[in-house]
Amino acid sequence: MDLGGINPVILIATLMASAVPILLAALGEAVVERAGVLNLGVEGMMIIGALGGFVVAVETGSPVLGFVGGAVAGAALSLIFALLTQVFLANQVATGLALTLFGLGVSSLGGQGYNGIKPPATGQLLPDALADLPVVGPILFGHDWVVYFSIAMTAVLWWVLKATRIGLIIRAVGESHEAAHALGYKVNRIRLMCIAFGGAMAGIGGAYVSLARVPQWVDGITAGAGWIALAIVVFASWKPWRVLIGAYLFGGITVLQLNLQVAGSGIPVEYLSMAPYLITILVLVIMSAGRRGKANGAPAALGQNFHASR
Amino acid sequence: MTRPELLRVEGITKAYPGVVANSDVTFSIGEGEIHALLGENGAGKSTMVKMIYGLVRPDSGQMTLRGAAYTPSKPAEARRLGVAMVFQHFSLFEALNVAENVALGMENPPPMRELAARIRAVSEEYGLPLDPSRMVGDLSAGERQRVEIIRCLLQDPKLLIMDEPTSVLTPQEVEILFKTLRQLSSEGTAILYISHKLEEIKSLCDEATILRRGKVVATCTPRERTAREMAELMVGATLKTPERRVGAKGEVALGVSDLSVASPIPFGTSLKGISFTVAKGEVLGIAGVAGNGQDELLLALSGELKASPDKVRVAGHAVGDLGPVERRRTGLVAAPEDRYGHAAAPDMSLVENAFLTAGVRKGLTKNGFVDWAGTRKFAEEIIAAYDVRTPGPDVAARALSGGNLQKFLMGRELMQGASVIVINQPTWGVDAAAAAQIRQSILDRAGEGAAVVVISQDLDELLEVSDSFAVLNEGRLTKPRPTEGLTMDEIGLMMGGAHGMEVAHHVA
């Protein structure tokens, strides 16, 4: 079953894996933004996570510990952001941008000496008997655990934000910090925890790039994935399942255009390379169009710092 | 009637850097008593109730609740002990629905479905109809307040604190609220009622504690005092009623016909077919509950929202498609409600702020450069004429208290010699003496032949200054009527009555 040299089953299976880093980072950022914080440092947290995950996995030989290391590294970097914006009330946009630059620089420095090493492999989770089934095997059963983890996180976050008390409090804080404060919620503490969670998710996403997707360490390995994650969060209206659609769309078109390049299609390479960015944003813009104003879902207090002075 | 004591506040003092909010405040509230806390803006009422609700800690003094020491360290603790509070602003979430809003204010909310059923039950019991699944952003101000009240009632409070509850209600809604409060009081719930509206307190409250500059200046039984006596206790001076100079009405200075514009504000109200005219020397008062299109009307008149040219006319010239600067040039100035951010640039000095709107009309530029000397002179004139308390004109607008900044901003617009003046909430947050002064200067400008539009939620203010009176209701303006001879009942009906309340009382 080949269409112009491209096997759709392989394509779907590959896109699910290739979307994982963006999906995880975007889910984390969606929670952060729902709490009213705009952290533009996703790219920086991802690459620190990529390095942290890579170093821990190489040193311990355990890929699972590597992902934990990535989460810790991402969360640690995000706590710098949390300290600056929630305690010292620094501007969130500027701090987030600085965080990205800082993360890129630090990872480049810390990655010296890890070039050219192969990390321990993150293997397929389920037995071959399942993965070898035709069509459904590669799509449903042939993945490593992080792919399943990312889908599970989408469902969990959707449920938490929609139906649980903690989700309600997070949304309330992002909607109006004054009101939340008046009711006795610790706005900055809740935001700080959300920021750390977002950092951990970005870190795991980054670690997936260096441990499973590439898998090796090179400078600037995340290559702008963090920025795409940020865009997806906005165009997905801060809803987890839409984030998943956005990430898969981007992942899918990325894989597709690579395949088209390999298959030697007539379209110039430059157009193919820009296609994932253009099409993802276009589709998400169309999805979120027509819901201007009250229904666009942007947390009302997004990007505003809160100080309980009155 | 003696009641067992519920809450006693003794010698409470709270100081913020530079200001003592409360000093040695003592009073007590009995079970089921409706107790008024009366005072001007800045008298320390809000700080006092925040301490009772556990949001702020007192520096010294004690509180006792039913004889036991009461020191709530956070609102959750206060709620657990039976103290609930209905806020004036800032405690509802527009993008969440009614049930979610209620759940956020409870310690251990039941599952959503059960909560929704309880909201329905309580709202019917007290005649406050409310649909738990509606988005709060779509509710009227009166309905929003019901959300807050029901949130409190679901927790069976012993003491219900209400901070300026009627400032956003129509007269009919106020009546219904009072009915609910009296019912609560007869069931044994004490109510601490904060307000500066004296007639309300006279009709509702059993006891009153009057605060001035953070100190208790009197306690009284409101029914036995006149409103004027209480007002003078509250202000600490005798009050002057503004005088109206009777000027002959001239030709039409501002005409608006069939103006419809979509609201640029999230959860805003679009304007629908607004028509009115204001003559030279006339003051048109526009009433209405907040959120019925007041902000949008100001934007449309100031030029921030544009329409087709002939929808808005100043002295016969079509200005509908002109921006604010061009409209100022034709003689129309506007003062929006939001002081920090809309009417003023908070981080800029008073001189710079004076230039921002007065530059055009006062000719404060020379060859394209700002005439700083002239601008400073104008700012100083405003400060002197309106008694603005500030160290000097170079202070940032943010550093002034709300009332003082309001005086400066009113002065800035009123002193430009404009032929049409539009003001939204001229005396919001200003103390009584300054409010009287601002009203007086509005009347003076009208006496000099300016056409003035005053948009306000304070009915007493509108009745005092306006010659004709209209109401904004869901983006529509009623036909202006002469103010003389209007009764509160008629005004209430113009304001749309009680927003579907009648239905509930049939049920209850």
Span B334-364, pLDDT tens digits:
998 877 778 888 888 999 999 998 888 888 8
Distance from C-alpha of B126 to C-alpha of B501, rounded to nearest angstrom? 11
CB-closest option in B76, B94, B109 to A184:
B76
Report the SS3 class of residue A4. coil
Distance from C-alpha of A171 to C-alpha of B178, rounded to nearest angstrom? 33
Any idea which residue has 């070898």 for tokens? Answer: A132
Distance from C-alpha of B177 to C-alpha of B126, rounded to nearest angstrom? 9
Q: What does the DSSP 8-state code read for residue B129?
A: -
| Single-letter residue type at A8 | P
Mutation for A interface: B14, B90, B106, most A CBs within 10 A: B90
Q: Which of residues 230-249 of A touch B (CB under 8 A)?
A: none
Tokens matching residue B407: 């005086």
Distance from C-alpha of B400 to C-alpha of B381, rounded to nearest angstrom? 17
Distances (CA, A) of B404 to A75, A150, B397, B424: 46, 55, 10, 16
Q: Which residues of A touch B151 (CB under 8 A)?
A: none
Tokens matching residue A8: 């759709």
Long-range pairs for A155-162 at CB < 8 Å and ≥24 separation? Answer: A155/A240, A157/A27, A157/A30, A157/A31, A157/A240, A158/A239, A158/A240, A158/A241, A161/A31, A161/A34, A161/A240
CB-closest option in A163, A168, A300 to B104:
A168
Report the SS3 class of residue B158. coil
Do the Cβ atoms of B262 and B270 come closer than 8 Å? yes
Closest CA to A33 of A308, A307, A296, A309: A296
- Of all residues in chain B, the percent with pLDDT exceeding 70 is 92
Contact criterion met (CB < 8 Å) for B100 and A180: no
Measured in angstroms, the CA of B438 and the nearest CA of chain A are apart by: 27
Q: How far is CA B323 from the centre of its chain?
A: 28
Q: Which residues of A touch B75 (CB under 8 A)?
A: 182-184
pLDDT given at position A5: 64
Measured in angstroms, the CA of A20 and the nearest CA of chain B are apart by: 30
Distance from C-alpha of B5 to C-alpha of B159, rounded to nearest angstrom? 12
Sign of CA dihedral A233, A236, A238, A239: negative
The angle that helices A20-34 and A8-18 make with each other, rounded to 10 degrees, is: 40
Span B421-444, pLDDT tens digits:
999 988 876 777 778 888 888 998
Q: What does the DSSP 8-state code read for residue B419?
A: S
Size of interface A-B (CB pairs under 8 A): 59
Contact criterion met (CB < 8 Å) for B54 and A184: yes
Report the SS3 class of residue A218. coil
pLDDT given at position B500: 44
Closest CA to B169 of B426, B472, B495: B495
Contact partners, residue B140, CB within 8 Å, separation at least 6: B289, B291, B499
pLDDT given at position B239: 59
Q: What does the DSSP 8-state code read for residue B321?
A: T
Distance from C-alpha of B58 to C-alpha of B51, rounded to nearest angstrom? 6
Distance from C-alpha of B428 to C-alpha of B405, rounded to nearest angstrom? 11
Mutation for A interface: B47, B91, B104, most A CBs within 10 A: B104
Q: Is B92 on the interface with A (CB under 8 A)?
A: yes
In terms of CATH architecture, what is B5-235? Answer: 3-Layer(aba) Sandwich (3.40)
Contact partners, residue B309, CB within 8 Å, separation at least 6: B318, B319, B320, B321, B322
Contact partners, residue B177, CB within 8 Å, separation at least 6: B145, B149, B165, B166, B169
Residue B161 bridge partners (DSSP): B85, B192
Domain boundaries for CATH 3.40.50.300 within chain B: 5-235, 252-339+418-494
Do the Cβ atoms of B429 and B230 come closer than 8 Å? no
Do the Cβ atoms of B431 and B40 come closer than 8 Å? yes
- Of all residues in chain B, the percent with pLDDT exceeding 90 is 21
Distance from C-alpha of B450 to C-alpha of A272, rounded to nearest angstrom? 66
Any idea which residue has 């969440």 for tokens? Answer: B96
Q: How far is CA A68 from the centre of its chain?
A: 15
**Domain boundaries in chain A?**
8-115+144-295
Do the Cβ atoms of B295 and B337 come closer than 8 Å? yes
What pTM value is reported for the model? 0.71
Q: Is the pLDDT of residue B144 over 90?
A: no
Closest CA to B112 of A144, A34, A164, A204: A164
Q: Is the pLDDT of residue B243 over 60?
A: yes
Contact partners, residue B269, CB within 8 Å, separation at least 6: B263, B291, B292, B293, B296, B474, B475
pLDDT given at position A3: 58
Q: What is the mean pLDDT of each run of 10 residues along chain A (310 residues)?
A: 70 90 96 95 96 95 94 96 93 94 95 90 82 82 92 96 92 90 88 96 96 91 91 89 92 86 82 84 74 63 74
Q: Which residues of A touch B104 (CB under 8 A)?
A: 168-169, 172, 180, 183, 185
Residue of A nearest to B99 (CA): A168
Distance from C-alpha of B449 to C-alpha of B331, rounded to nearest angstrom? 12
CB-closest option in A168, A184, A293 to B100:
A168
Judge residue B244's burial from the number of C-beta atoms within 10 Å of its C-beta, 0-12 exposed, 13-18 middle, 19 or more buried.
Answer: middle
Do the Cβ atoms of B77 and B191 come closer than 8 Å? no
Span B193-202, pLDDT tens digits:
988 777 788 8
Distance from C-alpha of A264 to C-alpha of B103, rounded to nearest angstrom? 59
DSSP one-letter string for A111-148 = TTT-BTPPPPP--BSS-HHHHTSTTHIIIIISSBHHHH
Buried (b) or exposed (e) across B149-169, using 16+ Cβ within 10 A? Answer: bbbbbbbebbbbbbbbbbbbb
For domain B252-339+418-494, the question of CATH label 3.30.67.10 is answered with no
Q: Is B429 on the interface with A (CB under 8 A)?
A: no
At B300, the pLDDT band (50, 70, 90 cuts) reads very high
B195: left (phi over 0), alpha (psi -120 to 50) or beta: beta
Q: What is the mean pLDDT of residues B251-267?
A: 86
The angle that helices A269-288 and A240-263 make with each other, rounded to 10 degrees, is: 160
Query: What strand order describes the sheet that includes B34-38?
Result: B83-86, B159-163, B190-195, B34-38, B207-212, B215-220
Span B147-173, pLDDT tens digits:
888 888 888 889 999 887 876 677 778
Contact partners, residue A190, CB within 8 Å, separation at least 6: A35, A169, A170, A173, A180
Tokens matching residue A107: 């990872």
Distance from C-alpha of B502 to C-alpha of B493, rounded to nearest angstrom? 13
For domain A8-115+144-295, the question of CATH label 1.10.3470 is answered with yes
